[in-house]
A = this chain, B = another copy of it.
Amino acid sequence: MKCIAEKSEDKIKEAAKRIFLKKGFDGTTSRDIAREADMNIALTNYYFRSKEKLFIEIFKDLMEMYYQSVVDILNKPIDIKAKISEIIENNYRMMKQEPDLVIFIMNEIHKDPERLLIKTPLYNQIKTTVFSQQLDAGIKNGTLRDIRIENILPLMTSCIEFLFLGKGIHQKIFSMTDEDFEAFAQSHKEHVKSMICHYLILEN
């Protein structure tokens, strides 16, 4: 039936995702979405009932996409040092590939937390990861610093994500071109990996 051509519903959703990510909910109009999807305005509401409903659906998708890759890595059967490196590398890759994602999520939640924060089993997911077990074991036998998983996870992601969140500011203050920033970000990533390992892993 439909081979190449996407279904209209999907076309609208994909278009809306692009626009919402770039402009946020308030900055996006129904007409923006219709234009991007190359469809009639009425179809947005025909398929999704309202701009709000469409947004919530997309937001949930993006939120899951944001977290799933991390949870997957936390469960890998590799030692904790390699895992830290991989989490940071994954984070770096994601921020380069989808630079709008994190600022979008943070800003929308910030504007109205109640509206978007649906029930999530993420805490249990995290608490039962291989990483969590490795952390507990390491703390018990004295090879790892005594730190809760609630603290160490943000420590690993915040430095990289913050760097890209403030890309515009950093580039302006330090007069960096895009290439300069790329090199700067790489070096920063290595510092972060090294710093986290130094702090978490006790050697002597």
Contact = CB atoms under 8 A, between A and B. Distances in A.
A163 B154 contact: yes
B150 A113 contact: no
Main secondary structure of the interface of A (DSSP, over half): helix
A140 interface: no
Contact of A150 (B109, B154, B174): B174
Interface residues of A, number: 51
A175 B123 contact: yes
Interface in A183-198: 184, 187-188, 191-192, 194-196, 198
Interface in A144-180: 147-148, 150-151, 154-155, 157-159, 161-163, 165-170, 172-175
A149 to B, nearest CB: 9
A158 B65 CA distance: 23
A182 to B, nearest CB: 14
Nearest to A107: B107
Given A24-B111, A111-B24, A165-B110, A170 B154 contact: yes
A109 B168 contact: yes
Interface string A13-54: 000000000111011000000000000000000000000000
Given A173-B122, A173-B123, A184-B150, A155 B195 contact: yes
A155 B150 contact: no
Contacts of A23: 26, 111
A151 to B, nearest CB: 5
5 contacts: A103-B106, A109-B166, A126-B173, A148-B187, A165-B165
